[in-house]
């Protein structure tokens, strides 16, 4: 089978798309024919082995498996003899933030792992794009206690995490303000956000509005800069460690001091996130934003694009049709 491989940690130019032995499912495993998988920011970490501590989960000193990937959507092609929950022909999707050999034509995966049925009417691309960023968005949101009047600002609503976060917050009935580049303001409004601040024209930290929560989904701001727009007991959450890994120690110091504080969530419980997002997909309350797709052979190009930090929502490796397509008008 064809697979996107790297034998050592490094940059996208290490990726080789080549022939690799097709996996044989064990008794509790399902052989999945992969139809779509995303290239996301976690994949970039799995590729580069950075931050370094990540290598203890993904493989040290070398990657545990040469095949890249973290998420997938596909069809059960074969099931091991002890598999009970899935059958041949089931459409399935899943995710593991410590890496999965999913950027390949086939992958074997345990039935009790992070595996779900794709809801009716959801494409393989949409299913694959509903995993990674949505999981992190859910983990940020569940760390905060909301009241019915809580006001939230999402910085970087065009990113994978940001575009998932605004949809989940709106589904939960929160009042959301977001930031995005002016060329994407309309797109974020179409997700249901009433007020979008174009970050290239206005500094959101100078707004006269006040918020109970600032979710810095792209990690481009800081607690210090956001303090003036936070209410007295307001919370700043960031997807990044920040300068001098400040978002690791600020949660402690700010909680001792009282008042405005920082939360840095460590994402857990992928199964719960997938189950939650599946309910939203079925209810029509969540649709992942798709930026573009690449055929598997262009995995190196896809990683280079994603690593630049400019993607809008999600980038797909399309193994169903092998198509290179742009879904977001530039
Ligand atoms: N903590 C965790 O567990 C965890 C897990 C995964 C990822 N991350 C981190 O979380 C961050 C977001 O990940 P992601 O997948 O959502 O990223 P992404 O999809 O690559 O999003 C980046 C987006 O941010 C926009 N952007 C760039 N500069 C901006 C600014 N100054 N203000 C507002 N928007 C801006 C970009 O669009 P334009 O350039 O067109 O504006 C782009 O749409 C990354 O830094 C990633 O490393 C953290």
Question: For 303-321, how does the pLDDT look when each residue is reduced to its tens digit (9 = 90+)?
Answer: 999 999 999 999 999 999 9
Predicted local confidence at residue 329, as pLDDT: 74
Structure tokens at 67: 């095949």
Predicted local confidence at residue 330, as pLDDT: 67
Distance 301 CA to ligand 1 centre (A): 18
Residue indicated by tokens 């917050």: 169
Top-level CATH class of 2-130+288-326?
A: alpha beta
Q: How far is CA 279 from the centre of its chain?
A: 17
Rg (alpha carbons) of the chain, rounded to whole number: 20
Q: Which of 76, 90, 216, 223 is nearest to 159 (CA)?
A: 216
**Which atom number of ligand 1 is nearest to the Cα of residue 155?**
33
pLDDT digits (tens, 9 = 90+) for 219-237: 999 999 999 999 999 999 9
Distance 160 CA to ligand 1 centre (A): 7
Distance 249 CA to ligand 1 centre (A): 22
Sequence-ordered list of residues with C-beta below 8 angstroms from that of 285, at least 6 positions apart, any chain: 167, 171
Task: Count CB neighbours of 260 within 10 A.
Answer: 18
Q: Is the CB of 41 under 6 A from ligand 1?
A: yes
Residue 37 half-sphere exposure toward CB, CA atoms < 13 A: 35
Q: For atom 8 of ligand 1, which residue has the closest CA?
A: 239
Q: For atom 37 of ligand 1, which residue has the closest CA?
A: 310
Tally helices (H) and strands (E) across the chain.
Answer: 10, 16
**Which atom number of ligand 1 is nearest to the Cα of residue 41?**
15
Superfamily in which the 133-263 domain is placed by CATH: NAD(P)-binding Rossmann-like Domain (3.40.50.720)
**Which atom number of ligand 1 is nearest to the Cα of residue 312?**
43
pLDDT digits (tens, 9 = 90+) for 231-257: 999 999 999 999 999 999 999 999 998
Quick check: 19 pLDDT over 80?
A: yes
Confidence label for 51 from pLDDT (cuts 50, 70 and 90): confident
**DSSP letter for each residue of 252-267:** HHHHHH-SSEEE----
How far is residue 318's CA from residue 316's CA, in Å, rounded to a whole number?
6
Predicted local confidence at residue 20, as pLDDT: 98
* Ranges for all domains in the chain classified under CATH 3.40.50.720: 133-263
pLDDT, mean of residues 38-65 = 94
* Ranges for all domains in the chain classified under CATH 3.90.180.10: 2-130+288-326
Q: Is the CB of 288 under 6 A from ligand 1?
A: no
pLDDT digits (tens, 9 = 90+) for 106-140: 999 999 999 999 999 999 999 999 999 999 999 99
Residues 109/74, Cβ–Cβ less than 8 Å: no
pLDDT, mean of residues 7-12 = 97
Residue indicated by tokens 């995966």: 109
pLDDT digits (tens, 9 = 90+) for 163-203: 999 999 999 999 999 999 999 999 999 999 999 999 999 99
> HEC profile for 288-308?
CCEEEEECHHHHHHHHHHHHC
Residues 272/150, Cβ–Cβ less than 8 Å: no
């Amino acid at each position: 089978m064809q697979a996107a491989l790297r034998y050592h940690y490094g940059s996208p130019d290490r990726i080789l798309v080549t022939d690799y032995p097709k996996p044989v499912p064990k008794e509790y495993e399902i052989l999945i024919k992969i139809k779509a998988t995303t290239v996301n920011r976690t994949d970039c970490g799995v590729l580069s082995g950075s931050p370094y501590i990540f290598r203890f989960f993904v493989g040290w000193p070398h990657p545990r498996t040469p095949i890249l990937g973290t998420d997938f959507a596909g069809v059960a092609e074969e099931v091991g003899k002890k598999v009970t929950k899935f059958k041949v022909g089931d459409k399935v999707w899943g995710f593991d933030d410590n890496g999965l050999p999913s950027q390949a034509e086939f992958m074997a995966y345990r039935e009790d792992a992070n595996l779900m049925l794709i809801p009716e009417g959801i494409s393989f691309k949409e299913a694959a794009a509903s995993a990674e960023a949505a999981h992190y968005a859910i983990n940020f949101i569940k760390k905060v206690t909301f009241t019915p009047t809580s006001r939230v600002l999402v910085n970087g609503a065009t990113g994978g995490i940001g575009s998932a976060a605004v949809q989940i917050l709106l589904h939960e009935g929160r009042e959301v303000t977001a930031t995005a580049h002016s060329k994407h303001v309309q797109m974020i409004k179409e997700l249901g956000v009433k007020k979008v601040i174009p970050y290239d024209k206005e500094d959101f930290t100078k707004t006269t509005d006040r918020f109970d929560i600032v979710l810095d989904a792209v990690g481009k701001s800081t607690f210090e800069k956001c303090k003036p727009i936070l209410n007295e007991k307001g919370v700043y959450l960031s997807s990044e460690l920040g300068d001098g890994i400040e978002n690791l120690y600020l949660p402690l110091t700010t909680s001792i001091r009282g008042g405005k504080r920082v939360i840095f969530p460590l994402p857990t419980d992928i199964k719960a996130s997938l189950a939650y997002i599946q309910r939203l997909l079925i209810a029509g309350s969540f649709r992942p934003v798709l930026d573009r797709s690449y055929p598997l052979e262009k995995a190196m190009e896809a990683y280079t694009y994603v690593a630049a930090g400019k993607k809008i929502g999600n980038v797909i490796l399309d193994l169903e049709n092998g198509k290179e397509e742009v879904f977001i008008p530039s």
